[in-house]
Amino acid sequence: MGTSHLPFLVLGCVLAGPSLVLCQLSLPSILPNENEKVVQLNSSFSLRCFGESEVTWQYPLADEDPNVKIRNEENNSGLFVTVLEVANASAAHTGLYTCYYNHTQSEESEIEGSHIYIYVPDPDVVFVPLGMTDYLVIVENDDFAIIPCRTTDPQTPVTLLSSEGVVLADYDSRQGFNGTFSGGPYVCEAIVRGKKFHSIPFNIYSVKATSELELELEAPKTVYMAGETIVLTCIVLNNEVVDFQWTYPGEVKNKGVVMLEEMKDPSIKLVHTLMVPKATVKDSGDYECIARLATREVKEMKKVTITVHEKGFIEIQPGFSQLEAVNLHEVKHFVVDVQAYPPPRISWLKDNLTLIENLTEITTDIEKIQEIRYRSRLKLIRAKEEDSGHYTIIVQNEDDVKSYTFELLTQVPASIQDLIDDHHGSTGGQTVRCTAAGTPLPEIEWMICKDIKKCNNETSWAILANNISNIVTEVSRQDRHTVQGRVTFAKVEETIAVRCLAKNLLGVENRELKLVAPTLRSELTVAAAVLVLLVIVIISLIVLVVIWKQKPRYEIRWRVIESISPDGHEYIYVDPMQLPYDSRWEFPRDGLVLGRILGSGAFGKVVEGTAYGLSRSQPVMKVAVKMLKPTARSSEKQALMSELKIMTHLGPHLNIVNLLGACTKSGPIYIITEYCFYGDLVNYLHKNRDSFLSHHPEKPKKELDIFGLNPTDESTRSICQGCLGAHILRETEDFKA
């Protein structure tokens, strides 16, 4: 190291540090004024240092060497002089001697002063003896390193050897070898007077290190109870050689146990653990971990505050008061902050019963916020009336119990449950009762509207004064949530409307009722009854008419042929019911055998029949028998009877189907007529159309006129001509169908 030798003192001001201006002293000077000096073995030597202030020496083998003496010397020049004297120089005295101002030095920084390097060559001691730690050389991230094999004689040549042979590196007898070395042992070799000397092997360690230290202090817990073991870990990543140091309250008593754990995978990690067993309250305080890099001046520290409690504790802080209200259907949370150690058990009660935790309507939860801070929440999903009550939170651990109770009131809007009136018999008095529910308990107010026609206009309503002579209002409480209001009218003379209003904080509901004066009421009742009767009668009439119209009936409609002609013929109305029935037409039933059905209508039918003994000339005779179906009603029977009477009345005729006989007694009515062999007229005309057109039209008419008809007459043999005209004279609804 080159030193500037300033024999004269120079005062100057130099910037030292970011903002500190020191008027620094010029460097001390050394006598002998040389860079280096070779001293004889076993000889003595002295070094003098001059300075403007007190100076002191730094030298090899400091302190423990009795052969080195340091003393102050007087000098008239006004300078401070310190002399270092070595009585018996040995190889170990080889090294750098530095003189410096002792008061300007801080402990951390490198000493700044003047130097002289002394060699004490010893043929027996080629290499300067070193401390054990100097043989460990730590190389950081494959950087330059020094293998400090210094010789006692500057002239001695030295080579460096590793397991692989000679290693080339810069050599300086004051420093040793400077180069980049891989890990492993290295030996320095020197030849003095033909004799080989080897140093003790130097071990090179190649380590990983970062320029910045990343330090983490982990405290799984910061709160403890007396007797527990405090555990803290300090972690450094990506550095292999780190010095750890702990400062903590129990440090003086050396209470802590320290462990170092090194992990290489996946990256280098040093874990330094401090354990303080059987903690007491006195162990509360700041715990600090300091880590230093071994290879350079990098330091990092982290701090945590640990609290040790004599025993467990609980503190609770509810975020609500002891009386709370919730609106119906509202969602509401009640939060309690808890600080506790050891961890507490938290439970909620409702009216002294444990809340079932999985209710969907009320839930509770516990959340850990920090190490000893918890938050418990009571959640009402949709507040209901029955949720009102006393809720209690109980927090407990081994050492403490705390609880807090609050009352919850579910507010329910006022609602009217019932509005009815009572009549006081003949006095004409009436009482209206209004039952209302809600929480808080509703108030009941009455309003009255005297002009019934205008009650839909709000201006017609007036508040019912409480003190009017013939109206009395009362209120009575039914239960916690229900109240009944009553208003009594001594006499209701005209129809009025009464309105009940139920009010509480959350709402108002009203309902109205009409009070009718009693006299008016009875008249109204009669009118209503009459009206109802009338309606019933009308409806039944309509129904009857409809039924009547729907059913086709078998009746005879008399139509006199002459009525069609326009030349003023008289109308003749005949009531067939009045006609007599000539019992000579009666034919015994057992003389009649019925055959197939020839035709049928809604009420009647015509069947083929064989009559025995109906005519003398023809003992067995084919006939048509007209009768009613079993479903026929009496009116139809009458109609058939009328038909029979008409036929007997008209008498036989060529052009009609003539009556032959009848069965009217003891059984259904049978009308026995001629049998038409050719079916009905329309079909016959259609079938025989051609033959009709070719015949002479006059002749048949003439011939037909000569036949007379009589039930007893045999000439009825030639009946068939009459069949053709059968349907011209009479029409019945029955046979039209």
Ligand X SMILES: *[C@@H]1O[C@H](CO)[C@@H](O)[C@H](O)[C@H]1NC(C)=O
Provide the annotated binding site for Mg(2+).
571
# residues near ligand X by CB under 6 A:
23
Query: What minimum distance in Å lies between the beta carbon of 13 and ligand X?
Result: 23
Q: Choose one: 126-134, 135-143, 317-325, 349-357; the region binding ligand X (CB under 6 A).
A: 349-357
Distances (CA, A) of 690 to 684, 685, 723: 11, 9, 20
Binding span for ligand X by CB under 6 A among 69-77, 237-245, 299-307, 508-516: 69-77
Cα–Cα dist 617/609, whole Å: 18
486-515: which residues touch ligand X (CB under 6 A)?
Answer: none
Q: What is the DSSP letter of 240?
A: S
Q: Which DSSP letter does residue 28 get?
A: P
| Least CB distance to ligand X at residue 160 (A) | 14
Query: Minimum CB separation from ligand X for residue 197, in Å?
Result: 18
- Examine residue 473 and tell whether it contacts ligand X (CB under 6 A): no
Residue among 251, 243, 329 at smallest CA distance from 291: 243
Per DSSP, the residues of 290-328 read EEEESSSS-EEEEEEEEEEESS-EEEEEESS-SEEEEET
Smallest distance from ligand X to CB 118, Å: 16
| Contact map string, positions 151 to 190, toward ligand X, x by CB under 6 A | ---------------------------x------------
CB of 209 to ligand X, least distance (A): 17
Identity of the residue, 426 or 459, whose beta carbon is nearer to ligand X in the bound complex: 459
Three-state SS across 518-546?
A: HHHHHHHHHHHHHHHHHHHHHHHHHHHHH
* Binding-site residue set for ATP: 599-606, 626, 674-680
399 backbone φψ class: left, alpha, beta (φ>0; ψ -120 to 50)? alpha
133 versus 358: smaller Cβ distance to ligand X: 358
* 664 makes contact with ligand X (CB under 6 A): no
Segment near ligand X (CB under 6 A); pick from 48-56, 438-446, 482-490, 675-683: 48-56
Task: Give the separation between CA 701 and CA 694, rounded to whole angstroms.
Answer: 15
Q: Could you say whether residue 354 binds ligand X (CB under 6 A)?
A: no
Residues 446-465 contacting ligand X, CB under 6 A: 457, 459, 465
Residue 68 CA to residue 87 CA, distance in Å, equals 7
Q: How far is the CB of 104 from ligand X (least distance, A)?
A: 10
The correct pick among 261, 330, 351, 422 for binding ligand X (CB under 6 A) is: 351
Q: Cα–Cα distances in Å, from 462 out to 445, 453, 489?
A: 11, 15, 16
Q: Kindly tell me which residue out of 211, 254, 358, 578 binds ligand X, with binding defined by CB under 6 A.
A: 358
Q: Is 198 within 8 Å of 160 (Cβ atoms)? A: no
- 144 forms part of the interface with ligand X (CB under 6 A): yes
Task: Rule CB under 6 A: say whether 390 interacts with ligand X.
Answer: yes
Q: How far is the CB of 411 from ligand X (least distance, A)?
A: 20
Instruction: Please state, in angstroms and as integers, the Cα–Cα distance from residue 68 to each residue in 45, 73, 82, 159, 701, following that order.
Output: 10, 16, 13, 32, 189
Q: Which of residues 11, 12, 63, 76 is near ligand X by CB under 6 A?
A: 76
Closest CA to 480 of 508, 440, 507, 444: 440
Using the rule CB under 6 A, is 56 a contact of ligand X?
yes
Length of the chain: 737
Strand, coil or helix: 130: coil
As a whole number of angstroms, the distance between CA 142 and CA 138 comes to 10
Stretch that binds ligand X, among 132-140, 286-294, 348-356, 523-531 (CB under 6 A): 348-356
Determine if 202 is a binding residue for ligand X (CB under 6 A): no
CB of 394 to ligand X, least distance (A): 12
Which 92-131 residues touch ligand X, going by CB under 6 A? 102
249, 250, 226: which is closest to 310 by C-alpha?
226
Beta strand 36-38 pairing with 21-24: unpaired
Residue 356 interacts with ligand X (CB under 6 A)? yes
By the rule CB under 6 A, 467 interacts with ligand X: yes
Which CB atom, from 460 or from 510, has the smaller least distance to ligand X? 460
Which C-beta is closer to ligand X: that of 80 or that of 127? 80
For ligand X, the closer CB: 394 or 681:
394
Instruction: State residue 524 phi and psi, 5-degree precision.
Output: -60, -40
Choose, by CB under 6 A, the member of 19, 106, 133, 352 that binds ligand X.
Answer: 352
CB 716, CB 621: distance < 8 Å = no
> Which sign does the torsion angle of CA 558, 562, 563, 568 carry?
negative
Hey, which bits of 530-666 come out as E strands?
592-600, 604-612, 620-628, 659-663
Task: Yes or no: say if 114 and 58 are a contact pair by the CB < 8 Å rule.
Answer: no
CB of 172 to ligand X, least distance (A): 8
- The residue (of 57 and 587) whose beta carbon lies closer to ligand X is 57
Distance in Å, CB of 293 to ligand X, minimum: 17
Q: Where are any strands of DSSP class E within 180-241?
A: 184-192, 195-198, 202-207, 215-218, 223-225, 230-237
Binding residues: 571, 599-606, 626, 674-680
Q: Which two structure tokens, joined as six digits, stand for 376? A: 């418990």
CB of 527 to ligand X, least distance (A): 29
Which residues of this chain interact with ligand X, rule CB under 6 A?
A: 41-42, 50, 54, 56, 75-77, 88, 90, 102, 144, 146, 178, 351-352, 356, 358, 390, 457, 459, 465, 467
